Structure 1
Amino acid sequence: MPIIDIKYLACYHSNLIRRSTMPAVTIRNLPEETHRALKSRAAQHGRSTESEIRFILEAAVRPRVAFGTQLAQIGQDLGGIELDFKRDKTPVAAASFE
C-alpha cells in the first residue's frame, strides 16, 4: 500500500483552493448617489449590483475591436460571403479648386 505524505496532501489541497478563488476589489468612499445609480442600472439590466459593477469593469478594460475586424468576423462566422461588385470604370474628373 502506498504511503501518502499528509503534509504534501494538505499543501496540494491548499493550492487547489487558492487557484479556484478569484480576486476581490473593495471600493471605498463611493458617493451614495453613485451607489444608487449602480443599483438602479443593475435593476434595469436584471443583475445584482455586484454583477453590474463586474460587467462595467470588464467592458472598460476589454480590448476594443475595430469595426472592420468585427465585420470580417461576422463573415467568417457565416462561412464567407460572396459579393459580386462590378467596378465602375468611368474615368473620374480631376478636382477643381478654382
Structure 2
Amino acid sequence: MSVVTVRNLDMSVKRALRERAAGRGVSMEQEIRDVLTRDVNNDHRQRPKASLDEIMRLSRKPDQPLDLKQAQDEVWGYLYEGDRPR
C-alpha cells in the first residue's frame, strides 16, 4: 500500500467527505479510499472511445457554410436569456 497526502483541499470538500463517512459508519480515510477506487474503476466506462468514422467525420467539410453571425447571435441569446424581462 502507498500513502498519498492531499494539500490545499477545500474545507467544504473535507466537511462533505466527513459527513458522507459518518453517514456510512466508516472513517473519513476509508470514505476517501472508496471514492477514489470507485472513480478510477469506473473511469473507462464514462469515456467511450470514438470510432474511426466519428473521427473522420470531424475532418469533413460541412454540407452548408456556417453562418457565423447567426451562431454568435444564438450563443449570446442563450447566455443572456435569463437577463430578459418576462
Per the normalisation by structure 1, the TM-score is 0.42
Higher helix fraction: Structure 1 or Structure 2? 2
Per the normalisation by structure 2, the TM-score is 0.48
Compare CA radii of gyration and give the structure with the larger one.
1
Question: Taking CA–CA contacts closer than 8 Å with sequence separation of 6 or more, which of the two structures ends up with the larger relative contact order?
Answer: 2
